[in-house]
Chain A
Amino acid sequence: MIKVENLVKTFGTKRAVDGVSFSVERGEVLGFLGPNGAGKSTTMRMITGFIPPTSGRVLVGGFDMVEKPTAAKRLIGYLPENAPAYSDMTVYGFLSFAAEVRGLRGSAKKQAIHRAVEMCFLEPVLHQTVDTLSKGYRHRTCFAQSIIHDPEVLVLDEPTDGLDPNQKHEVRGLIRQMGEKKAIIFSTHILEEVDAACSRAIIIDRGRVVANGTPAELRRRSELAGAVTLRVSGVNGAAVRERLSQLPTVKRTTILEEDNHAVTARAFPKSDVNGVLARSIAEAMQGWRIEELHTEEGRLDEVFRSITMPDTAETQEASKKK
């Protein structure tokens, strides 16, 4: 549904977006990650046709955004960053305007408004003017505007920004559920949302795509992925370290925590021992009281940090070891 080819946007001499390519099909929810100023919003603005790309192409449902903007825009629902809304209108008036612009009239319009109001829980503020709304409600109003015509493509720039935890949960659920039938792109700084809602994620940094894969794939890129964490009681750290380092599957061992009762340690695998590390450790610990033993999946925040800040990630890892 969405196809982005070699998108470039320069502001003056600055390349805000620098050769971004990806595509999103129906049934996919693409999470868009990246540090502040990475170019997420700029990319989304080009996808939705708000700003023209310096070079490259955006196709939405087969329509080129530059050549056939109206046809392409008809397919899109867009929640811009900061959720702008006409401050002098009531929530109902605003949604009614959005529905009319999308060509909905009469009972179709009423139904669409009703549906969007229900999905975004706007009932209590329906007749309040937008400038008297709290930030979260304003955000939801703008979100409602983006789904009012049940679009095939949704572009959401930080849809959970400013929402309370319950609403965040609702919106993630909504995105996941809508993602079954639509093509959705949403940007976020909250990495749990990637797990909660995305089928795929892209990390972009300084205008370039630096990672693209399912959440599980990304997590596997973490240094932690595949490491085994264990907690053994009744022994001291030195003994644990010694036994672990004798194993042929273990590359390196760190003691995370040690007290009178128990030791928590982490063993990192040699590169080619995928999967067997946990078993080999369990066997090596025969006779000790193992309280906990599990293989780490890897953490997204660590992947994110190591990809977008390659230098500092290592130093932080090092300081953790001490």
Chain B
Amino acid sequence: MNSWANIKTIAKRELGAYFTSPVAYVFIVIFLLLCGFFTFRLGQFFERNDASLLSFFVYHPWLFLFLVPAVGMRLWSEERRSGTIELLLTMPITAWQAIVGKFLASWLFLVLALALTFPLWISVNYLGNPDNGAIFCGYIGSALMAGAYLSIASMTSAMTRNQVIAFIVSVVICFFLILAGWQPVTTLLDSLGVVWLRNLVASLGVMTHFDAFQRGVIDARDVLFFLSLIGFALFSTGVIIRSRRAG
């Protein structure tokens, strides 16, 4: 119970830090604008003549590729740069609680940004009779994917005091996770004929696991995939922080 209180304290501070700087509002505005652009222009929301948010969700892996690392890059590198990491890690909390607290705060922030796309959901309901269950699944999947990207950004930001490097490295890693399950890559690996490699790579792909959510299916294996990706990346964050405390 005590550790939960610590996590909450850390998360509260972190979330507060997002909203006291203009970055949070800028981020949310950009996120919403891009969502609109992707959905209506590229996704041809109206032309599809289909009451669903498929054209909204389908671009999320790409949209998050840049936006989520931008949110996560400061998590630990900023602590390192300003030296506050020395305060944080000498307080009577474990590194775990700090890592989870910070992660949850920025995840909550992303979920909030995601929730602010609700006008889309209202308009699609106004225009037609969509499958709201499927839309809900899409949101769940989207939030999980954002969490997975974020945990990777947390890991890369623990490595360096430079936010730009943290951003670039996490974009690259996330990009690989997208490519891994992407149709053309799978086809390419198929042509190589090494089946286990193809399956391994494909199983790491974010796309494969996100697809089902868009279609309105919540598969425990997909949820487990995202959660274990988050768990793994946060664990690595802990290892990196422990080994590079003084650096």
Contacts and interface: CB of A to CB of B under 8 A. Distances in A.
Contact of A101 (B6, B16, B17, B246): B6
Given A45-B246, A89-B13, A93-B16, A70 B84 contact: no
A78 B86 CA distance: 9
Given A70-B93, A78-B87, A88-B17, A97 B82 contact: no
Interface stretch (A32-40, A47-55, A206-214): A47-55
Nearest to B18: A88
Contact of A50 (B5, B6, B10, B246): B246
Interface stretch (A19-27, A79-87, A161-169): A79-87
A84 B91 contact: no
A76 interface: yes
A102 B91 CA distance: 8
Interface string B216-240: 0000000000000000000000000
B13 A84 contact: no
Given A84-B82, A97-B9, A101-B92, A89 B87 contact: no
A88 B84 CA distance: 12
A100 interface: yes
Most buried by A among B2, B20, B87, B94: B87
A89 B15 CA distance: 11
B92 A70 contact: yes
A299 interface: no
A189 interface: no
B91 A73 contact: yes
Contacts of A88: 17, 20-21
Contact of B92 (A51, A84, A102): A102
Contacts of A142: 87
Nearest to B93: A101
A49 B17 contact: no
A15 to B, nearest CB: 15
A97 B101 CA distance: 13
Contacts of B10: 101
A51 B245 CA distance: 6
B133 interface: no
Given A89-B20, A101-B9, A101-B93, A84 B87 contact: yes
B128 interface: no
Contacts of B12: 97, 100
Interface in B1-47: 2, 5-6, 9-10, 12-13, 16-17, 20-21
Contacts of B91: 73, 98, 101-102
A78 B90 contact: yes
Contact of B87 (A74, A80, A93, A129): A80
A141 to B, nearest CB: 11
A313 to B, nearest CB: 33
A19 B2 CA distance: 36
A85 B93 contact: no
Contact of B13 (A76, A86, A102): A86
Nearest to B87: A84
Given A50-B246, A101-B9, A87 B92 contact: no
A43 interface: no
B115 interface: no
Interface string A60-99: 0000000001110110101010101111110001000110
A149 to B, nearest CB: 9
B246 to A, nearest CB: 5
A145 interface: yes
Nearest to A99: B9
B3 to A, nearest CB: 9
B161 to A, nearest CB: 13
B122 to A, nearest CB: 34
Contacts of B112: none
A84 B84 contact: yes
A85 B89 contact: no
A74 B92 contact: yes
B98 to A, nearest CB: 10
Given A50-B90, A89-B16, A102-B92, A84 B83 contact: yes
B92 to A, nearest CB: 4
B139 to A, nearest CB: 30
A89 B17 contact: yes
Contacts of B9: 97, 100-101
Interface of B: 2, 5-6, 9-10, 12-13, 16-17, 20-21, 82-84, 86-87, 89-94, 245-246
12 contacts: A50-B246, A51-B246, A80-B83, A80-B87, A82-B83, A85-B87, A86-B17, A86-B82, A89-B20, A97-B13, A101-B9, A101-B10
